[in-house]
Amino acid sequence: MSEMLEKKDQKDSIVDLFGSKVFNVAVMRKRLPKHIYKSVMRTIKYDEPLGREDAEVVANAMKDWAMELGATHFTHWFQPMTGATAEKHDAFISPTGEGSVIMEFSGKELVKGEPDASSFPSGGLRATFEARGYTAWDPTSFAFVKGTTLYIPTSFISYSGEILDKKTPLLRSMKVLSNEAIRVLKLFGAADDVHKVTSSVGAEQEYFLVDKDMYAKRKDLILTGRTLFGAMAPKGQEMEDHYFGRIRGRVRHFMRDVDKELWSLGVPSKTRHNEVAPCQHELAPVFSSANQATDNNHLIMETLRRMAPKYDLHCLINEKPFEGINGSGKHNNWSIATDTGVNLLDPGKDPANNLQFLTFLIAVIEAVDRYPELLRSTVASAGNDHRLGANEAPPAIISIFVGDQLADVLNELLTGESSGKAKERTMDLGINATPTFTTDATDRNRTSPFAFTGNKFEFRMLGSNQSIAGPNIALNTIVAEVLREYADALEGSDNFEADCREFLKGRLEAHKRVIFNGNNYTDEWVEEAERRGLPNLRTTPEAFAEYCMPKNVEVMSKNDIYTDEEMKARQEIHLEEYSKTINIEAKTMLSMARHEILPAVMDCEKDLTTVLSQKAAVGIETKDSVEAVMVEKIAALAKDLLAETDALDAVTEKAAAIEDAQEQANSYCADVIGAMNALRATADELETIVGKEYWPYPIYEDLLFYV
Ligand code: ADP
Ligand code: MG
């Protein structure tokens, strides 16, 4: 009985816990006067501006609610170009002039903030003497209380209106996509009750957990988030025993706590499991609007990092914490749905005759084929360069997987011949007690960078540490652009169905080269893709060299996402970020090699030579002794290490002195990374022959298998 009660309590408490720190619709309905509540809902649903006086009432209700949850401060929470989030806390206090204070929060403070913006990257858009930037409330993502602060999601723009963040362009891209999708729906007579079309996103987050004390002993992990040295452990991921394996004690407790925290913040954390690599894990929430999903993903990353130390763990979200085993990515599941609840990428029971579905499907295929360089740039970073194309993640070539069933459907459209395979399939497991169920419209292909997975596309190239805003801005915008062209072409048609079919056939014919249903990890695909003319931008500098190509600038400026200058600024910011990252990594390696590895190696040499001289003193022959052989081997490697350290130092200095952002990034990519790899190879070899007691930091075995 008591156990049943407990279980019931737990169920109720999760329901109560969920969103308990969020100023969501239910709270607003309860706390706002009816007419104000209605106008806020109109703002949220239809982007109608909220009046000054209404904002005043909302601010006051928000403050009272937040203070009941223990908040003393508020902050405009924004997403500058660093890829992280930023916050500055202000107390609610307002002096009365009589030596006391009242707690106040005005509509003006809710709607607009003026943080000093001079130290955020702007790519030269804003001179430092014009440091002013504005933050503007985003009512479409709920405010929440974390700790003792009320967080208000905001956009961030400069004094003269240039975009300095990732939220503003994301909201703009959602708006154009909505407008153009509705135009297309009208052609099908399917837009009657539709006011808005939203891009929905579910982002699966991968991460590693290592022991906190071991982490604290590694300068590379502390300064760069990844190991820059380290020989592979005797065991890696080859036994495939970690993927979906039992979640062990400390990690399970950690995950439970993370879920509770996320639920209280209204983040619908749903799935947790062990990933492929040892000590690698994944968390996935239920999908929501691209805007909320982006805010939520920031909260997820922040919560994982913040909660880990409580369990003596450290959470690594870097894309490549360990050489030789899988790195971490983020799968961006993307679809578009009407506010009446229709998923426009749902094939339904008979996709071959679902012209509306085919229109949206082919629009996505065309968009991806036309703007691969743009999409590739949005996932480019120093960390992600270690994954893409490394047989653990999709290659840097963008292609689309649609699966056999849809391939048949598309083929039917092109040739007019039906293979009959395209209808909904039911799966009979041959086990009587198990009900038959409908299979997804696609089977699984884990190697594709952009896969159709039943009723959504899964963009799999994102790095674990990246904001998901960039890829979704690009996706929304390029799909909106193509939908606009479709609507323009078909709006005048008086034989719509036939015209539409013929039109789609032409578009598919022109862009079907981007579809690839095979194994993306093979060399044959790299060659085949080249024959098809698909770009293969292997590194971040290569990708960003194409970011501002005319067609990319045109699609962004035409849809009012970015101006030409804003694109150039973004290109520069990302190239600089890349160079800075490699520069820090190179310098960390130099410091570790000089201050830690070489002294450790010399300690070992000293002990060996002491033994040698002691043996010689008592007349023991030492010429071919173990000590003599070891000293010679270690001394030779140490000499290489010293030379490689100096070489890395020199190329790093040379790269750091280059002025032009593109040239500088090219130099870090070509020269500095090469020198880093050479130094690492020697150090890792030394690690395997010098005794463990000499080695200055925890090795892979310790890091990977003791959590
Ligand atoms: P996987 O098998 O790749 O782990 P899942 O089916 O578990 O994928 O779903 C992964 C993510 O996709 C989840 O965040 C889920 O909410 C999200 N998702 C499901 N349907 C949609 C949709 N229509 N639009 C966007 N995301 C979706
Ligand atoms: Mg996935």
Strand partners, 158: 133
Question: What is the best residue among 281, 287, 336, 461 to mutate for testing ligand 1's pocket, by most ligand atoms within 8 Å of CB?
Answer: 287
In the predicted structure, residue 445 carries a pLDDT above the cut 80: no
For ligand 1, is residue 448 a contact (CB within 6 Å)?
no
* Rounded Cα–Cα distance for residues 177 and 188 (Å): 17
Residues 561-597: pLDDT tens digits?
Answer: 999 999 999 999 999 999 999 999 999 999 999 999 9
Nearest atom in ligand 1 to 287's CA: 16
Q: Which of 424-428, 444-448, 505-509 has the highest mean pLDDT?
A: 505-509
From the list 177, 266, 66, 696, the residue with the least C-alpha distance to 477 is 177
For ligand 1, is residue 333 a contact (CB within 6 Å)?
yes
In the predicted structure, residue 138 carries a pLDDT above the cut 90: yes
What pLDDT is attached to residue 440?
52
- Note the helical H segments in 112-248: 167-187, 212-216, 219-224
- ipTM, two decimals, is 0.96
Residues 619-635: pLDDT tens digits?
Answer: 999 989 999 999 999 99
* Rounded Cα–Cα distance for residues 140 and 155 (Å): 11
Percent of the chain with pLDDT over 70: 94
What fold is seen in the domain 578-705?
Answer: Four Helix Bundle (Hemerythrin (Met), subunit A) (1.20.120)
Lowest mean pLDDT among 168-177, 418-427, 446-455, 470-479: 418-427
Model confidence at 507, pLDDT cuts 50, 70, 90, reads: very high
Cβ–Cβ under 8 Å, residues 197 and 338: yes
From the list 362, 357, 359, 338, the residue with the least C-alpha distance to 346 is 357
What pLDDT is attached to residue 442?
53
In the predicted structure, residue 406 carries a pLDDT above the cut 60: yes
Q: How far is the CA of 523 from the centre of ligand 1 (A)?
A: 30
Cβ–Cβ under 8 Å, residues 501 and 197: no
What fold is seen in the domain 15-165?
Answer: Ubiquitin-like (UB roll) (3.10.20)
In the predicted structure, residue 129 carries a pLDDT above the cut 80: no
Cβ–Cβ under 8 Å, residues 209 and 342: no
**Proximal ligand: closest to the CA of 329:** 2
For ligand 1, is residue 201 a contact (CB within 6 Å)?
yes
Query: If you average pLDDT over residues 31-41, what whole number do you get?
Result: 96
Kindly state the tokens that stand for 430: 């041959």
Q: Whose CA is nearest to atom 24 of ligand 1?
A: 335
Q: How far is the CA of 333 from the centre of ligand 1 (A)?
A: 6
* 342: exposed, middle or buried (Cβ count in 10 Å: 0-12, 13-18, 19+): middle
What pLDDT is attached to residue 349?
87
Q: Whose CA is nearest to atom 4 of ligand 1?
A: 204
Q: How far is the CA of 205 from the centre of ligand 1 (A)?
A: 12
Q: How far is the CA of 533 from the centre of ligand 1 (A)?
A: 31
**Proximal ligand: closest to the CA of 271:** 1
What pLDDT is attached to residue 48?
86
In the predicted structure, residue 62 carries a pLDDT above the cut 60: yes
Q: What's the farthest any 2 CA atoms get from each other in the chain?
A: 106
Lowest mean pLDDT among 384-398, 510-524, 585-599: 384-398
For ligand 1, is residue 273 a contact (CB within 6 Å)?
no
* Rounded Cα–Cα distance for residues 549 and 370 (Å): 12
- Tokens 């996706």 label which residue? 475
Strand partners, 462: 330
Instruction: Name the packing angle between helices 290-307 and 167-187 (round to 10°).
Output: 140
Q: How far is the CA of 113 from the centre of ligand 1 (A)?
A: 35
Model confidence at 33, pLDDT cuts 50, 70, 90, reads: very high
Percent of the chain with pLDDT over 90: 80
In the predicted structure, residue 39 carries a pLDDT above the cut 50: yes
For ligand 1, is residue 287 a contact (CB within 6 Å)?
yes
Q: What is the DSSP string of 220-250?
A: HHHHHSS-SS-PPPS--STT--STT-PPPHH
**Proximal ligand: closest to the CA of 284:** 1
Q: Regarding the domain with residue range 172-228+235-562, which homologous superfamily does it belong to in the CATH classification?
A: Glutamine synthetase/guanido kinase, catalytic domain (3.30.590.10)
Query: If you average pLDDT over residues 254-268, what whole number do you get?
Result: 96
In the predicted structure, residue 386 carries a pLDDT above the cut 50: yes
* Rounded Cα–Cα distance for residues 69 and 266 (Å): 15
In the predicted structure, residue 427 carries a pLDDT above the cut 80: no
Model confidence at 124, pLDDT cuts 50, 70, 90, reads: confident
For ligand 1, is residue 335 a contact (CB within 6 Å)?
yes
In the predicted structure, residue 415 carries a pLDDT above the cut 60: yes
Q: How far is the CA of 459 from the centre of ligand 2 (A)?
A: 9
Q: How far is the CA of 453 from the centre of ligand 1 (A)?
A: 9
Q: Whose CA is nearest to atom 1 of ligand 1?
A: 204
pTM above 0.90, yes or no: yes
Q: What single-letter DSSP state applies at residue 597?
A: I
What pLDDT is attached to residue 126?
61
Nearest atom in ligand 1 to 343's CA: 23
In the predicted structure, residue 84 carries a pLDDT above the cut 50: yes
For ligand 1, is residue 282 a contact (CB within 6 Å)?
no
Kindly state the tokens that stand for 79: 């997403």
- Tokens 């079907």 label which residue? 512
Give whole-number Cα distances, 22 to 119, 142, 168, in Å: 30, 7, 22
Does 578-705 match 15-165 at the fold level? no
For ligand 1, is residue 460 a contact (CB within 6 Å)?
no
Where do the DSSP E strands lie in 312-403? Answer: 313-316, 329-338, 400-401
What pLDDT is attached to residue 125?
75
For ligand 1, is residue 634 a contact (CB within 6 Å)?
no
Question: What is the best residue among 177, 197, 204, 452 to mutate for testing ligand 1's pocket, by most ligand atoms within 8 Å of CB?
Answer: 204
For ligand 1, is residue 200 a contact (CB within 6 Å)?
yes
User: Can you give the C-alpha Rg of the chain in angstroms?
Assistant: 28
Q: How far is the CA of 460 from the centre of ligand 2 (A)?
A: 7
* Rounded Cα–Cα distance for residues 200 and 337 (Å): 7
Nearest atom in ligand 1 to 455's CA: 23
Q: How far is the CA of 321 from the centre of ligand 2 (A)?
A: 20
For ligand 1, is residue 445 a contact (CB within 6 Å)?
no
Query: If you average pLDDT over residues 60-84, what whole number do you get?
Result: 95
Model confidence at 10, pLDDT cuts 50, 70, 90, reads: confident
For ligand 1, is residue 566 a contact (CB within 6 Å)?
no
Query: If you average pLDDT over residues 428-433, what whole number do you get?
Result: 45
Query: If you average pLDDT over residues 171-179, what whole number do you get?
Result: 97
How many other CB atoms are found less than 10 A from the CB of residue 395? Answer: 22
* Rounded Cα–Cα distance for residues 444 and 234 (Å): 32
Our CA angle for 538, 539, 541, nearest 5°, is 135
What pLDDT is attached to residue 664?
98
For ligand 1, is residue 202 a contact (CB within 6 Å)?
yes
Q: What single-letter DSSP state applies at residue 671?
A: I
Provide the terminal-to-terminal Cα distance of the chain, rounded to the nearest Å: 37
From the list 114, 135, 76, 162, the residue with the least C-alpha distance to 561 is 162
In the predicted structure, residue 433 carries a pLDDT above the cut 50: no
For the chain, which residues make up each domain, given as ranges?
15-165, 172-228+235-562, 578-705
* Rounded Cα–Cα distance for residues 686 and 602 (Å): 11
What pLDDT is attached to residue 707?
74
Instruction: Name the packing angle between helices 496-511 and 355-370 (round to 10°).
Output: 30
For ligand 1, is residue 293 a contact (CB within 6 Å)?
no
Query: If you average pLDDT over residues 289-306, what whole number do you get?
Result: 98
Cβ–Cβ under 8 Å, residues 338 and 185: yes
For ligand 1, is residue 172 a contact (CB within 6 Å)?
no
Model confidence at 130, pLDDT cuts 50, 70, 90, reads: low
What pLDDT is attached to residue 304?
98
From the list 91, 53, 45, the residue with the least C-alpha distance to 71 is 91
- Tokens 């459907």 label which residue? 409
More confident residue, 653 or 12: 653
Residues 680-697: pLDDT tens digits?
Answer: 999 999 999 999 999 999
What pLDDT is attached to residue 298?
98
What pLDDT is attached to residue 577?
97
Q: What single-letter DSSP state applies at residue 287?
A: P
For ligand 1, is residue 343 a contact (CB within 6 Å)?
yes
In the predicted structure, residue 429 carries a pLDDT above the cut 60: no
Strand partners, 154: 137
* Rounded Cα–Cα distance for residues 593 and 421 (Å): 61
Model confidence at 614, pLDDT cuts 50, 70, 90, reads: very high
**Proximal ligand: closest to the CA of 290:** 1
Residues 633-659: pLDDT tens digits?
Answer: 999 999 999 999 999 999 999 999 999
Stated as kind and residue range, the H or E segment containing 288 is strand 288-289
In the predicted structure, residue 663 carries a pLDDT above the cut 80: yes
Q: How far is the CA of 393 from the centre of ligand 2 (A)?
A: 12
Nearest atom in ligand 1 to 271's CA: 7
Instruction: Tell me the three state secondary structure of residue 394.
Output: coil
Nearest atom in ligand 1 to 202's CA: 14
